[in-house]
Structure 1
Amino acid sequence: MKNNMLSLVCGWLLIVGLSACDKNGKTETSTTAPSAATEAPAVNVPSFNADSAFQFVVKQVEFGPRVPNTQAHRAAGDYLIEKLKSYGGNVLVQSFKAKAYNGTMLNLRNIMGQFNPKASKRILLAAHWDTRHVADKDEQNPNQPIDGANDGASGVAVLLEIARQLQADPLQGDVGVDIMFFDGEDYGQPDSSEDPYQPDSWCLGSQYWGQNLMPQGYRANYGILLDMVGAKNSRFFREETSRMYARDVVDKVWRAANQLGYSDYFVPQNSPGITDDHTYVIQHTNIRMIDIIAHDPSSPDGYFGPYHHRHTDNIDIIDKNTLKAVGQTVLRVVYSEQ
């Protein structure tokens, strides 16, 4: 994502005719008692292991920047495929080519792992696994790629840990989860580019998947996108596109976070709409999807934290507490669907 993508995309999405919609087997416990208004039946939810998730971030960063057309990118993709298979996922790989804003032809792969694939009620959990090819907001070495510990690796790490829990404590009944790793999300045109603005230069993987569904005819009851969900002191606001097209899902996630005592992370405030992978999922598939994405209104960028598209997006900013808050909340939402 980039700053000039903070436009209110909701009106544009309306044009396409979408409907707006205002490990262990442990039982999780809240750190604060929910009010009567938010009281919910007890559900057995696996305990999200933040240490495990953190190691998944470390592993991705160790590959180096996961920039398309590089060996690090190829190796990281192979690793993700094998990890999903090792956790019992039915793995589907969508290989394709896409032309970037600068004319580079990118070799990309969307990777999906399906859990309880025969279930009719499906929840799509997604993150992008590529990293930015330039540190275009950094004053030093702006043309060099970034580690992408938060912007890329954190969302993937949370979903890998969720996949591990889905194997250890399988979902019961007619509920299934599809974990999607989108490629080519962060190879968009820099704000500093002197070339004419090119629309839709970001989120190449979700654009392609939305128009070429894998598996064919895929449907989901709703989706949750994770983007930049691991930095210290992260705060997640209710993003506008998410509210407009999947308000009930936003409410469900923020209510779960409140019940778990994570309201300091999942702030009950609204933020502007942003173009991200969920935008194209909504546009092309009509799947109602929300975006859990860190928002820092005090940032000089106006939306993202000071590490965004800079070399400071490295392992030093990743916090296990943030990973835990996001991962446990998503696990609660998923297991409550049983």
Structure 2
Amino acid sequence: MKNKIAGFLFMALAFMACESSKNTEVTSAVSYKEVPEFNADSAYAFIQKQVGFGPRVPMTEGHQLTKEWIIEKFESYGLEVKKQDFQAKTHDGLTWDLTNIIASYNPKATKRIMISAHWDTRRVADKDTQRIDQPIDGANDGASGVGMALELARILASSELQPNVGVDFILFDGEDDGEPESSYNRNNSQVWWCLGSQHWSKNPHQNGYNAYYGILLDMVGAKGARFYREGYSRHYAKNIVNKVWNYGIELGFSDYFILQDAGEITDDHYFVNKDAKIPMINIIEFSPNTGFGRYHHTHDDNMELIDVRTLKAVGQTVLFTLYQE
């Protein structure tokens, strides 16, 4: 493992040396802290396990089984786990019982980083041409971020190398609802998706909770994914965006972390920024030219879409970021 860690550090320093040679001023090389290796195969298995439960639509058996499994995994790594149960209204008048899952590594640490994803899936495939009224697997849109969070937790719990911060994994429920594409914005009295983050941001699991910054992982596992600098991330947490994207490029993942701006997306990070006042960025596959991937809210969002190379690029970059704090 140490040889692989050294490889990542060598690539980072070599990149910086090449860049500094292009300038008239010579800058000193940055000394990075050692970082464990992110196991993309393990993250893939965590994604596959979630998909195996079936669609994780709130108020269904698949949703309940997934919740129990996620909590058990975090607890098996020795993290302090809390459930935030609440109710929320849907766009079509239903009342859903929802649960945000909070798992804390090194809970006594003062400086904390927040890693988030959503663990539910969409109840309709409204961008598809077949089985439109049936729920999707959500392998990428939901399960990829959760799988990555679980792998990060596993590494933190098992590695001899430990970061100097505490990490709170906050997994939001009820993110992927909202009106179907055909009736979008008919009921625009409020935002009908991101239900879990809207609740948590106004009612945090702990009084006075704060984090240095947060990273939202949403759709982070697709083949050929490209991650652009999302608009709200730049508005609220520009320095964090620049840091994470630069780390990704220095680690050799420039095919994934693209130095180009994309528009604003109303995702979980928006409410964390606006209401909880915690600067949070969003690593999400959303192109400034084509928008969401072709699989978005369709039945193509299945395990065939997931690529360990994408998981490796994002997972190693996030892990590297945590260890540099």
Alignment: residue pair count = 312
Q: Does 1:76 align with 2:66?
A: yes
**RMSD of equivalent CA atoms:** 1.7
1:277-333 CA-partner distances (Å, limit 9, x unpaired): 00000111110000000123453xxx1000000000000000000000000000000
Q: CA deviation at 1:172?
A: 4.5
Q: CA deviation at 1:200?
A: 1.1
> Superposed, which structure 2 residues align to 1:227-246 within 5 Å?
227-246=218-237
What residue identity is the alignment partner of 2:255? D
The answer (yes or no) to whether the contact 1:189–1:198 under 8 Å persists in 2 is no
Instruction: Report the Cα distance in structure 2 between the residues aligned to 1:207 and 1:98, rounded to whole angstroms.
Output: 10
Instruction: Report the Cα distance in structure 2 between the residues aligned to 1:279 and 1:173, rounded to whole angstroms.
Output: 27
SS at the partner of 2:281? strand
The answer (yes or no) to whether the contact 2:35–2:161 under 8 Å persists in 1 is no
Q: Does 1:27 align with 2:18?
A: no
The answer (yes or no) to whether the contact 1:120–1:176 under 8 Å persists in 2 is yes
SS at the partner of 2:38? coil
The answer (yes or no) to whether the contact 1:27–1:43 under 8 Å persists in 2 is no
Instruction: Report the Cα distance in structure 1 between the residues aligned to 2:4 and 2:313, rounded to whole angstroms.
Output: 16
Instruction: Report the Cα distance in structure 1 between the residues aligned to 2:199 and 2:284, rounded to whole angstroms.
Output: 22
1:16 counterpart residue number:
none
Instruction: Report the Cα distance in structure 2 between the residues aligned to 1:25 and 1:118, rounded to whole angstroms.
Output: 32
The answer (yes or no) to whether the contact 1:154–1:229 under 8 Å persists in 2 is yes
TM-score, normalisation: structure 2: 0.92
Instruction: Report the Cα distance in structure 2 between the residues aligned to 1:267 and 1:282, rounded to whole angstroms.
Output: 23
Instruction: Report the Cα distance in structure 1 between the residues aligned to 2:160 and 2:207, rounded to whole angstroms.
Output: 25
Decide which of 155, 173, 177 is 2:145's aligned counterpart: 155
Q: Does 1:256 align with 2:247?
A: yes
The answer (yes or no) to whether the contact 2:197–2:272 under 8 Å persists in 1 is yes
What residue identity is the alignment partner of 2:69? Y
Residue range with higher mean Cα deviation, 28-37 or 254-263: 28-37
SS at the partner of 1:285? coil
Q: CA deviation at 1:217?
A: 1.4
Q: Does 1:136 align with 2:90?
A: no
1:189-244 CA-partner distances (Å, limit 9, x unpaired): 12311743343111000000011111221100000000000000000000111011
Instruction: Report the Cα distance in structure 2 between the residues aligned to 1:168 and 1:207, rounded to whole angstroms.
Output: 33
Q: Does 1:126 align with 2:107?
A: no
1:328 counterpart residue number:
316
Instruction: Report the Cα distance in structure 1 between the residues aligned to 2:141 and 2:249, rounded to whole angstroms.
Output: 25
Change (3 A) 1:28 1:187: farther
Decide which of 52, 59, 81 is 1:91's aligned counterpart: 81
The answer (yes or no) to whether the contact 2:91–2:187 under 8 Å persists in 1 is no
Instruction: Report the Cα distance in structure 2 between the residues aligned to 1:264 and 1:98, rounded to whole angstroms.
Output: 39
1:13 counterpart residue number:
none
Decide which of 267, 278, 290 is 1:276's aligned counterpart: 267
Change (3 A) 1:327 1:138: same
Q: CA deviation at 1:43?
A: 1.5
Change (3 A) 1:87 1:143: same
Change (3 A) 1:24 1:276: farther
The answer (yes or no) to whether the contact 1:48–1:324 under 8 Å persists in 2 is yes
Q: Does 1:211 align with 2:189?
A: no
SS at the partner of 2:102? strand
Change (3 A) 1:126 1:187: same
The answer (yes or no) to whether the contact 1:297–1:304 under 8 Å persists in 2 is no
Higher relative contact order (CA 8 A, sep 6+): 1
Instruction: Report the Cα distance in structure 1 between the residues aligned to 2:161 and 2:188, rounded to whole angstroms.
Output: 45
SS at the partner of 1:110? strand
The answer (yes or no) to whether the contact 2:163–2:322 under 8 Å persists in 1 is no
The answer (yes or no) to whether the contact 1:25–1:47 under 8 Å persists in 2 is no
TM-score, normalisation: structure 1: 0.89
Higher helix share: 2
Residue range with higher mean Cα deviation, 31-40 or 47-56: 31-40
1:12 counterpart residue number:
none
SS at the partner of 1:78? helix
SS at the partner of 2:114? strand
Unaligned runs of 5+ in 2: 21-28
Identity of aligned residues (%): 53
